[in-house]
Amino acid sequence: MKAGKGVHTVPNKAGAGWVNEEDGRTISNHRTKEAAVKAGRAVAKRQAVEHTIHKMDGSIGEKNSYGKDPNPPRG
């Protein structure tokens, strides 16, 4: 899976648990998805980038943008 811009919370390919990746490299390891999501969100907010949370099968489950959104919601 090729990671895009921002922080990606993904299942650990090397074993158990979850990791946060940035530019394809691991920036943190966690035992639970919840801990990984919390840490990934903090990094994404600090860097004002998108946080992508993946499911166990690697597909995208959720995306949150903490920077300037190029496609803001209309309403």
Residue 27 lies in a domain: yes
- The dihedrals phi and psi of 36, each to the nearest 5 degrees, come to -65, -40
Residue 53 lies in a domain: yes
CA dist 8 and 20 (Å) reads 5
pLDDT, tens digit, for every residue of 26-71?
Answer: 999 999 999 999 999 999 999 999 999 999 999 999 999 997 766 6
Residue 69 lies in a domain: no
Residue in the structure block whose two tokens are 């099968």 = 57
pTM (2 d.p.): 0.84
- The dihedrals phi and psi of 40, each to the nearest 5 degrees, come to -65, -40
Residue 36: domain span: 7-63
Number of domains in the chain: 1
CA dist 66 and 63 (Å) reads 10
Q: From residue 66, how far is each of 4, 16, 23 by CA, in Å?
A: 15, 28, 17
Q: Which pLDDT value is given to residue 71?
A: 65
Residue 41 lies in a domain: yes
